[in-house]
Chains A and B, each alone.
Chain A
Amino acid sequence: MTTITNPQELIPETPKTPPDWRQYFSFSTDHKVIGIQYIFTAFFFFLVAGIFAMIMRGELITPEPDLLDRTVYNGLYTMHGTIMIFGWTFPVLSGFANYLVPLMIGARDMAFPRLNAAAFWMIPVVGILFILSFLVPGGPSQAGWWAYPPQSVQNPTGNLVNGQFIWLLAVAISGVSSIMGALNIVTTIIRMRAPGMGWFKTPAFVWTVMAAQIIQLYGLPALTAGVVMLLCDLTFGTAFFDPAQGGNPVLFEHFFWFYSHPAVYVMVLPVFGIFSEIFPVYARKPLFGYKVVAISSIIITVLGGLVWVHHMFASGTPGWMRVLFMASTMLIAVPTGIKVFAWVGTIWGGKLRLDTSMLFGLGGLINFVFAGITGIMLSSVPIDIHVNNTYFIVGHFHYVLYGTIVFGIYAGIYHWFPKMTGRMYYEGLGKLHFYLTFIGTALNFVPMHPLGLMGMPRRVASYDPEFAFWNVIASLGAFLLGVSTVPFLLNMVSSWISGKKAGDNPWRAIGLEWLVSSPPDHENFEEIPVVIAEPYGYGKDEPLTENMGG
């Protein structure tokens, strides 16, 4: 059992740090290199899928389908959603988990470094498959990221290799990669925490990452099974979901949502963790109710597995099932509310510093409260029946995925940029980036709510003229969001090259990752720290570790 605590001894020596740029293109087993590889690759796919979104918003700026052929629009919206989820959000958060978890728990690397690298290198394959599917005859999948049969298996080209086939293959590979990553991360967190780091001395980010990765372990098998069955229906003529031959298409909906609703928590939990790390640093106060915040993540993991039918309220579900899942969905508001109140409690009466990470954190918090409120509305069966599959839903989940998750990711990137690169970013460009992003988010996604209430279905390439006004505003917001990435990219590139040297701990933050050099050495810790205090001891003037201070 003890061998597992020091796995680096088993693997071939990798070059000493700081790693030069070529290392980021190699099969490195260093968790920090892999973490940055994940973040970079994911950000590339974020830009690709973002361009898809802007082309779609270009089509939707007028009611008629005049910019694109309908098939092209359908392919773009499918790949926008797919790449944003499987190419951006999952991988970028895996990147954060990879980079931060070993540093935060005082380990020298992940439990299975080679598995880690293998899981990462599947992501470029997945993303490239998605993009290449635009080149096959018939174009990419045009079935939406849900891929509901029978529509998804219609295959008008009749070819064996078609867009939907590639889509299913890529999603299955992504699932394998995620399962490998989840196994690695959960093992690392359970087995490799530094001496003295009991569960209630473990940082909140680590708690949320574990809660999220456990969901991958119980949820992904259902999606993978569904995807494989759908692939068989498409390619080998089986009829699992074909109603004409006695199959049941609603069964696929269950397979899909049993994983894909909890998947939202896989994406949002680590962002809750980032918020919980950032607010104490920039408010100079301990995380309010740390233990309850930590446990509430695990409660979300459990409850999150019991709510999937709320995506199917308008589907062929009986009344009793609708009511049962309405109740379970509403319960999730309780642990989530605990977190929100705890963050407000954390900043309450502190010494606030509005650096860029804090701005993104607070902006993300406000956006999340908004998304949470529309979420409660949607969990109510009668409310959902009218707005289900309308733009109200699109507005709601973009406030979660962009307003909350992307904001949290930006907050995290700014906060740990000095640690990852050893250099400071430019605060002015950062603030410009924040304000453009915040305004763009509101312009883009708020109008979607009234559109949904008026009855505009999602996934349409054309719409009735009565919806034109709000669509124009939303499109302008989308273009502004595109523009907002320019100061970010400028900032990151120029700061990495010529930013001010950061030092080990520019934010005067408490945490094991701030006790090592920036960027950390290959081995992270010369001596494994012995933890003696709870995290977030702001204002308490007590050391975090026995041997390294803090």
Chain B
Amino acid sequence: MNIKRIITLGAITLFLAGVSFWIGQLSYSWFPPQASAEAILYDDLFSLLTGIGTFIFLGVTLAVFYNIIFYQAGRYNTSDGPPIEGNIKLEIIWTAIPLLLVIAIAVISYQTYDQMDLHGPTEIAHLPQMMDAAYADTGQSTVESMTEIEVDSQQWAWIFRYPDQNVTSTELHLPVNQRAHLKLRSKDVIHGFYIPAFRVKQDIIPAKTIDFEFTPILEGNYRLRDSQYSGTYFAAMQADVVVESQADYDRWLKKAAKQIPTLAPNQAASEYARREQKSDSAGWKTVVPAPAPMVNYHP
């Protein structure tokens, strides 16, 4: 009888573990493309936690349904269940296992965080260990450090400055496989710098310059979104991010440097202008958006 029970429990555990592993693998498909070295680390950690979480969720749910199915009282059955008040051994086990589990998750999370080395207003940027891992895939062994790009945010526009070339743009261009160094600034309220394909995010606090780093590894077009609520046109505060080869990047910079600054399209400013023209606008008075920016390059 006891052996039968152990076998049944073992089989259920194995089955749950299998399902959990499968869901954990499936979790990779829930994300945008892995466009940065950080994204690879992120998705691995998320997959692990999804697997553990699925196991716990299915375990508890299964236990509840097992009892619903096998231990429902009959309609006229008014008897009580066994008066079991607790079980010290069981209670110690279900305190100790979660404790060990969260300690393990915290340690693994810390390691991932350390490897991402996202930034630190007080820390000196250094080449993180993760670069080796990330570059094993791309076949490159050295990483050049890129010059800094200044990111200016305001209600409701993003402007990117490349100080060495004296270029301004409303589209963020980055060379692939290079550590990007950004200086984040805000002119008015708190904004959030967020590129989902890179899995990185940082609030931008006004009157502060925040250093921010990450490494794009996949050429393509991505979205930058404001992630900290910034008022009326918050949802419209988006910009495109272009990750391209070094050669394309250099060409783009050179071309942009030669262009005379022109008025870039800005969704918030144009929506506001349209709203002001309509007399029947149902909206309330809003902070006036900053005028559309003058930049060397805009899409």
A interface vs B, CB < 8 Å? 65, 68-72, 74-75, 137-139, 142-144, 148, 150-151, 154, 156-157, 243-244, 249-250, 283-286, 288-292, 314-316, 318-319, 322-323, 326-327, 330-331, 333-334, 337-338, 340-342, 344-345, 347-354, 362, 365-366, 369-370, 373-374, 376-377, 380-383, 385-386, 388-390, 450, 453-455, 457-464, 508, 534, 537-540
User: Contact at A316–B205, with CB atoms within 8 Å?
Assistant: yes
Within B245-299, the residues touching A (CB, 8 Å) are 271, 275, 281-288
The 10 A-B residue pairs with the shortest CB-CB distance in the complex, in nearest-first order: A455-B196, A69-B283, A460-B235, A139-B284, A539-B83, A243-B207, A539-B80, A350-B81, A373-B53, A351-B73
| B residues near A455, Cβ cutoff 8 Å | 32, 194, 196-197, 223, 225
With both chains docked as a complex, state the minimum distance between the C-beta of B110 and any C-beta of chain A, in angstroms.
6
**Are the CB atoms of A453 and B30 closer together than 8 Å?**
yes
Q: Which of B81, B113, B122, B192 contacts A539 (CB 8 A)?
A: B81
Residues from chain A with a CB closer than 8 A to the CB of B232 are: 70-71, 74, 142
Shortest Cβ distance from residue A301 to the other chain B in the assembled complex, whole angstroms: 18
Listed A/B pairs (17) with beta-carbon separation below 8 Å = A72-B283, A148-B228, A151-B189, A151-B230, A154-B189, A249-B190, A337-B95, A348-B63, A348-B71, A351-B73, A352-B71, A373-B53, A381-B113, A383-B42, A388-B227, A390-B227, A457-B194
* Interface Cβ pair total, 8 Å cutoff: 287
Per a CB cutoff under 8 Å, which of B85, B90, B105, B225 touches A330? Answer: B105
B30 to chain A, nearest CB (A): 5
Q: Return chain B residues, CB-CB under 8 Å to A330.
A: 102-103, 105-106
Interface bits B201-230 vs A (CB < 8 Å: 1, else 0): 111011110100000000000010111111
Q: A348-B63, A386-B196, A453-B31 are in contact. Are A71 and B283 (CB under 8 A)?
A: yes
Q: In the assembly, what is the distance between CA of A69 and CA of B121, in Å?
A: 38
- Cα distance A366–B81 in the bound complex, in angstroms: 22
> Which of A75, A342, A344, A455: most chain B CB closer than 10 A?
A455
Once the chains are docked, how many angstroms separate the CA of A138 from the CA of B207?
Answer: 28
A509 to chain B, nearest CB (A): 12
The reply to whether B201 and A314 contact each other, CB–CB distance below 8 Å, is: yes
**Shortest Cβ gap from A69 to chain B (Å):** 3
A385 contacts B84, CB within 8 Å?
A: no
How far is it, in angstroms, between the C-alpha of A229 and the C-alpha of B14 when the chains are bound? Answer: 56
Q: How far is the CB of A318 from chain B (nearest CB, A)?
A: 6
Complex CA–CA separation, A351 to B73 (angstroms): 5
Residues of A within 8 A of B208 (CB): 243, 316
Considering the chains assembled together, what is the distance between the CA atoms of A315 and B194 in angstroms? 12
A151 with B190: CB separation less than 8 A: yes
Which residue, of B42, B229, B285, has the highest number of chain A Cβ atoms within 10 A? B229
Docked pose: A260 CA to B15 CA in angstroms:
40
Complex CA distance for A74 and B190, rounded to whole angstroms: 16
B60 touches A344 (CB 8 A): yes
Query: Given A74-B232, A290-B85, A457-B226 in contact, is the A352-B68 Cβ separation under 8 Å?
Result: yes
Given A381-B113, A389-B229; 4 other pairs, CB 8 A cutoff: A71-B285, A75-B284, A151-B230, A382-B116
Q: Is the CB of B284 within 8 A of A348?
A: no
A150 partner residues in chain B, CB cutoff 8 A: 188-190, 206
Within 8 Å by CB of A386, from B42, B189, B207, B228, lies B42
Q: Is the CB of B81 within 8 A of A69?
A: no
Known contacts A70-B233, A151-B229, A454-B30; decide if A351 and B71 are in contact (CB<8 Å): yes
Q: Which residues of B contact A283 (CB under 8 A)?
A: 67, 71, 81
Contact call A369/B105, Cβ cutoff below 8 A = no
Quick check: A353 and B231 within 8 Å, CB to CB? no
CA distance A70 to B155 in the complex (A): 14
- Asked if A349 and B225 make an inter-chain contact with CB atoms under 8 angstroms apart, the answer reads no
Q: Is the pair A454, B98 in contact by a Cβ cutoff of 8 Å?
A: no
A376 B102 Cβ-Cβ under 8 A: yes
Q: B41 touches which one: A327, A380, A382 (CB < 8 A)?
A: A382
> Is B61 in the interface zone, CB < 8 Å from A?
yes
In the complex, what distance in Å separates the CA atom of A72 from the CA atom of B228?
19
Contacts of A450 in B (CB 8 A): 30
Contacts of A74 in B (CB 8 A): 231-232, 234
User: Are A337 and B68 interface neighbours, CB within 8 A?
Assistant: no
Take A249-B205, A386-B42, A460-B235 as given contacts and tell me if A344 and B229 are in contact as well, using a CB distance cutoff of 8 Å. Answer: no
B77 to chain A, nearest CB (A): 6
With A351-B79, A383-B46 as given contacts, are A318 and B120 in contact (CB-CB < 8 Å)? yes
Known contacts being A71-B283, A337-B94, is A377 close to B53, with CB within 8 Å?
Answer: yes
CA distance A290 to B105 in the complex (A): 29
Given A327-B106, A382-B113, A457-B225, answer yes or no on A70-B235 (Cβ-Cβ < 8 Å).
yes
Of the candidates B41, B71, B202, B228, the one whose C-beta lies within 8 Å of that of A350 is B71
Residue B199, interface by CB 8 Å? yes
